[in-house]
Every structure is written in C-alpha cells, then in structure tokens.
Amino acid sequence: MNQIGNLTLDPSSPFFILGPCALESEEFAWEMARSLKAIAERTGIQLIFKASYDKANRTSVDSFRGPGVVEGCRILGEIGKELGLPVTTDVHTPEDAEIAAETIDFLQIPAFLCRQTDLLEACAKTGRPVNIKKGQFLAPWDVKPIAGKMKHFNCEHFYITERGSTFGYNNLVADMRSLYWMRDLGMKVIFDATHSVQRPGGEGGTTGGDGILAPVLARAAVATGVDGVFMETHSNPEKAFSDGPNQIPLSEIEGVLTKLLAVHHAAHAE
C-alpha cells in the first residue's frame, strides 16, 4: 500500500506527480524527466513522472493528441527504468490498461471516465496502483461508489484526485472542503493543482486556464492535508501542444515545491 514502482512512500510528506501534459516528442519527454529528477534530488521530494500518450478529450478534432498507447508507454517505461522514477499516464480503455500495465507504475483514470466500471475493473486487475480523477460533475461523497467498485475488484491501493467542480460555463472551482471530506471517508487523496485552474473550452477551440493560480491552490491543498499533489509543468507553456495556459513553467517549479514543503511542515508539524 505504500509502494509505487520503486518509490516507497513516506506518509509524513506528500508525493508529487509532475510532468508535461502531453508526450510531445520522445526527446522532450526525456528532457523534462531529467530536469524534474534533478529538481527532486535538490528539494528532496517524492517524485512520480507523468505525461499523456493520448489526449483523447481535446476540444477540437484538429488538436494534437500524442503518440498512442504502445509508443507512449514504451517511452515512459524507458524513462522510468533509466532514471529510476515511477511513471504514470492516463488510460482510456480496458485494452489500454492492459498494455500500460506492462511498463507504467501508476495507472490514471481521467475525470470523465471515473465511473466507467469496465475501465475501473481493468485497471484494478492489473495489480498496479490506480489514480482516479474525480469527475467535475461529482460531489465529494459521490466517490464512495467508485471506491466500492475498486474494492469489489480487489484493488485496495487507489487514490481519488480532486481537480475542481464545474461552476457555470467554462469554469472550475476547487473546494478545499472536498479534500477533508474525502479523506474523512477513508480515501487517499491527491490534489490536481493545474487542472483545477483550467477553463474548459474557454478559448473557443482550445482550453484556457489560470496557471498563475495553480501554486496558490496547491498551497491551500497542502495546508489542508493531502497524500499527493499533481502539477503539470512545461519548459515553455506558451508553446505547449496542449493545456499550456494552466501549466507551471519548469523554471518556476522548484520554487513552488520548496514553498509547498514549507507549508506542509508548518501546517502539520507535531
């Protein structure tokens, strides 16, 4: 229950899921992973590297999606093996889950698929830990049936990720009470700081966002108490192939992490 890939989790401090939104290229993924590993070593954080092989829920049919499950999982698997990092990515179908489980340490279920029983079952049956993003349409207590499905499928090592709730048109609001309530239900909880500041479809043909607010919400989540923090980061968000407006610049991520660790220690010191 405290192991993700080769990372033995220290429950006294949150772990961090960091990486770019999409696998834009193999070279780019390696550059980001190496940079983040170096930052993790300097800050002492527990790092899981993320990137998506398929952005299957893009606003426009013309939008970049990624290299696909086979090639994407190969890239991520080689990064994880070479750098000694656990890796995670979204899976979209039961077939994806089976393929990804061969090389991916931590399977992630996208928010819009969080109640898809066949997908939950497929991920559970791989034996891998699973991260389930809570749908923007769900209340915190609505995750209880999701947890019930995972336990029914004999998966005890899973997390629920808060990533905001739909509030009017093209807007999400992250309710920090949700973190407390879900943990009070016995859930392991991750806070997704960058997707919580998205403005879905807010740019017409693309998704907008308020990336400058992601560290603000992350600080609030860490102070409230979470098991992990998810943040997308990019070396040049303005040139990102997807979700650029809500990604944190790589040049700023070390400072963000240092502040988050300080907030955690201040808020949860015994």
Tell me what pLDDT residue 205 has. 54
Domain assignment of residue 262, yes or no: yes
pLDDT in tens, the chain (270 residues): 689 999 999 999 999 999 999 999 999 999 999 999 999 999 999 999 999 998 777 666 777 788 899 999 999 999 999 999 999 999 999 999 999 999 999 999 999 999 999 999 999 999 999 999 999 999 999 999 999 999 999 999 999 999 999 998 888 999 999 999 999 999 999 999 999 998 876 555 556 678 899 999 999 999 999 999 999 999 999 998 887 888 999 999 999 999 999 999 999 986
Q: How many CB atoms lie within 10 A of CB 253?
A: 22
Tell me what pLDDT residue 128 has. 98
Domain assignment of residue 1, yes or no: no
Q: Residue 206 to residues 167, 174, 201: CA-CA distances in angstroms?
A: 18, 21, 5
Q: Residue 69 to residues 21, 55, 92, 108, 243: CA-CA distances in angstroms?
A: 15, 11, 10, 13, 20
Question: Helix or strand or coil: residue 150?
Answer: helix
Cα 126 to Cα 98: distance, rounded to the nearest angstrom = 7
Domain assignment of residue 260, yes or no: yes
Q: How many CB atoms lie within 10 A of CB 236?
A: 11
Question: Helix or strand or coil: residue 7?
Answer: strand
pTM for this predicted structure: 0.94
Beta-ladder partners of 158 = 130
Q: How many domains does the chain have?
A: 1
Beta-ladder partners of 162 = 191
Domain assignment of residue 5, yes or no: no
Length of the chain: 270
Q: 233: part of which helix (H) or strand (E)?
A: strand 228-234
Q: Specify the CATH number for the domain of residue 68.
A: 3.20.20.70
Domain assignment of residue 204, yes or no: yes
Domain, as residue range, for 39: 13-268
Domain assignment of residue 163, yes or no: yes
For strands 130-133 and 106-109, give the pairing. parallel
Residue whose token pair is 């407006």? 245
Domain assignment of residue 60, yes or no: yes
Domain assignment of residue 59, yes or no: yes
Q: How many CB atoms lie within 10 A of CB 83?
A: 16
Tell me what pLDDT residue 210 has. 81
